[in-house]
Chain A
Amino acid sequence: MANDKSQTTNGRPKVAFFDFACCEGCQLTVIDSLQTHLDLLDAVEIVQFREAMTEKGEDYQIAFIEGSCTRKSDEARLKKIREQADIVVALGACAHLGGVNALKNLHPLEDVRHWVYGDKADWYETYEARPIDAVIKVDAAIPGCPIDREEFIRVVKAVLLGKKPPIPDYPICVECKLKENVCLFHVGKFCLGPVTRAGCGAICPSFGSGCEGCRGLIPNPNENAMKDVLAEAGLTVEDVLSRFTMFNTYQVQERMAEEEGK
């Protein structure tokens, strides 16, 4: 049944943007994307976007959520958004993976709070950072730190047409090959491209910097082979793990917990 909680305006779906723990870089990227796709503003009605506008509507069908959930008290806000929206889209690595916020999960939580706020630590609520799909059901994710402008547009168009968002499930290496980039392993650098989901146009390797895995792992990556490759590049196991954890700590820890449970 069609959603009867909200009404569209002339068939234009109402869209809202929300942010939790993040740098708001993905919303800024949305603003940048819209600059060159002003036609999209005719296809939807933006009813909430705190960073850019004062107008505020609670009646929306599509919710874009940037940021990780890092406080128990944020769960209620997330659930409220889920109740209202027909479609929830995780916007960027913090919402999709936990991202850099989850790096704090590598340290004992009390230690983290005391490190930053000293004897006032108790004033500041926090818990392990997590992707939003650890709290609510998510219908689609736009990966990346930050999101890719063109991919954002592609996903929005797909969502509006009721199609599955076109997120690649092949690795960054494919995009590097298409761009005829020199493989960074051949010039003594390291890169997580072989196990990381494509869609960014291999932007980091194209600018001489190894992939850091911000788009998450591809399905069924050959991680052990990847570790061997990194070790050949002169990195210790610790370095290798550190490369995986920059954006994927939550997933790495989840997997470790699963393996311990087996």
Chain B
Amino acid sequence: MTTLKVDVHHVTRVEGHGDIVVDTRNGELKECRFEVVEAPRFFEAFVRGRPYYELSHITSRICGICAVGHATASLRATEKALGVEPSEQTVLLRKLNFHGEMIDSHVLHTYYLVAPDFLGVGSVIPLAATHPGVVERALRVKKLSGDLCAMVAGRHTHPIAMAVGGFTHLPTEAELREMRGRLVDARADMDETVALFATLPWPEFERETEYVSLKKDDEYAFIDGTVVTSDGFSYPIEDYRKVTNEECVPFSTAKWTHHNRESYMVGALARLNNNFDQLHPRAKEAAAKLGLKPIVTNPFLNSAAQVVEMVHCIEDCILIIDELLTRSIQPEEPPVVAVKAGVGVGSCDVPRGILFHNYVYGEDGRCVEANCIIPTNQNMANLNADMKELVPQIMDRPQEEVRHLLEMLVRAYDPCISCSAHFLNVEFV
């Protein structure tokens, strides 16, 4: 009978610190879990007392990689609390910026963090020697997405020009046209990306779960909408706590969540499963080449779903720029905000999944209470459920192989642990 002990201290090629612990004795699984050991940072506690205009600038610092996502969710929460309605131009520019971050994060994850597992190297650095074309393509797409974010808001980490109700700086039409040209050129890189990832031998493993994402009537949802689950539930964003039901677990600084089952999954795969019909036609073609047809239940394919989303975002960026150029850029300033007491919930589906920011403001426009629920935490229970099902299927294999597969599973979820470890307050008064 197999006895297996795996203890991976600080899994590499993920954002933040997490450990894998597996213990099987005589063919029986004794222990199996992913632990988050990142130092907690307590954002929800220390934004209390800060003025409304600082909130998005402080909370973008939750995460260097989803900085635009946090800023966007934060601004939506503040805008709803203070009754501010962003202009159509602002909404378009925010989408453009958001797509830039989506591409940036997905290219980082798929090429720099996941691809080395399949190409037999420890990191992207030796990959530059063995697969220079692959690395050059990744660098090109990464630079494009970074430049796109910089054009809209000054830089990707941390965005500068994003403000309550608008932008403090606007791209010029010349910049938009130049960016459009680069996005069109990137189609070739996307074709190559799809071709590369279609050849990767994804580990075989199926475990159906509940998939949770935003949904909108008119587009593949990333910002605003309603919260839906593949089990048929739908909630207004304001009712997010009915979905997340958070709890502390003793071996993790990240809290766990569950909804209709013991766990649920968020992220690219959940979005693709829930909103497949709204993908751009080119993204649907990419999905076909990658063998993705909803409902996809292999969590390793989250990375493939990210490739599909990169294609979608490149195409949608081109459409958004066309619309901005047709309307021409209006020299708008962020609106003057009338400070008042209020409560608001903002939600975005950021690269790793659905994110909520919920603020209560006092009459002086200072934050009284805050709650942020980050995607990685929402995936923790599901990742652990996957591990518990996967380990018995593979425990007869060499220990090194088991260890590597479990690391790959963790990586497939693209955990952003630095985000996850500053969890939320337990109750609003």
Contacts and interface: CB of A to CB of B under 8 A. Distances in A.
A112 B61 contact: no
A56 B12 CA distance: 9
Nearest to B62: A23
A51 B12 CA distance: 6
B65 A113 contact: no
B124 A52 contact: yes
Given A23-B64, A209-B168, A107 B39 contact: no
B42 A52 contact: no
A208 B157 contact: no
Interface stretch (A26-34, A131-139, A171-179, A218-226): A26-34
Contacts of A53: 12-13, 122-125
B426 interface: yes
B283 to A, nearest CB: 26
A117 B64 contact: no
B397 interface: no
Contacts of B426: 117-119
B13 A51 contact: yes
B143 interface: yes
A90 to B, nearest CB: 16
Given A25-B61, A123-B248, A145 B12 contact: no
A158 B154 CA distance: 27
A126 B139 CA distance: 38
Contact of A209 (B38, B45, B163): B163
Nearest to B404: A54
Contact of A28 (B64, B163, B425): B64
Contacts of B427: 118
Q: How large is the interface on A (under 10, 10 to 19, 20 to 34, 35 or more residues)?
A: 35 or more
Given A54-B12, A104-B45, A32 B146 contact: yes
Interface string B401-424: 000000000000000001100111
Contact of B168 (A46, A103, A145, A207): A207
A27 B64 contact: yes
A99 B124 CA distance: 30
A8 interface: no
A26 B54 CA distance: 20
B250 A123 contact: yes
B42 A113 contact: yes
Contacts of B146: 32
Contact of A116 (B39, B61, B425): B425
B6 to A, nearest CB: 15
Contact of B64 (A55, A71, A146, A208): A146
Contact of A115 (B125, B253, B425): B425
B412 to A, nearest CB: 16
A71 B37 CA distance: 12
Contacts of A36: 143
A116 B423 contact: yes
A156 interface: no
Contact of A107 (B45, B123, B419, B423): B45
Interface in A70-103: 70-71, 74, 99-101, 103
Interface residues of B, number: 62
B15 A54 contact: no
Interface in B118-158: 122-125, 139, 142-143, 146, 153-155, 157-158
Contacts of B154: 203-204, 206-207, 209
A24 B58 contact: no
Contact of A208 (B42, B49, B168): B168
Interface string A109-133: 0011101111110011010000000
A183 interface: no
A239 interface: yes
B48 interface: yes
Given A53-B123, A54-B122, A124 B51 contact: no
A39 to B, nearest CB: 13
Contacts of B49: 106, 242
Contacts of B45: 104, 107, 111-113, 115-116
Interface string B38-64: 111110111111110010011001111
Interface string B347-375: 00000000000000000000000000000
Contact of A112 (B39, B46, B116, B168): B46
A54 B253 CA distance: 23
A21 interface: yes
Interface in B154-180: 154-155, 157-158, 160-161, 163, 167-169
B160 A126 contact: no
Interface of A: 19-29, 31-32, 35-36, 41, 46, 49-56, 67, 70-71, 74, 99-101, 103-104, 106-107, 111-113, 115-120, 123-124, 126, 145-146, 203-204, 206-209, 212, 239, 242, 246
20 contacts: A19-B418, A21-B39, A24-B64, A24-B65, A28-B157, A32-B142, A46-B125, A50-B10, A51-B12, A52-B13, A55-B122, A70-B39, A104-B42, A112-B45, A116-B425, A117-B40, A119-B426, A124-B253, A126-B42, A206-B169
Top-7 shortest CB links A-B: A25-B64, A208-B168, A53-B123, A118-B426, A207-B154, A103-B46, A120-B248
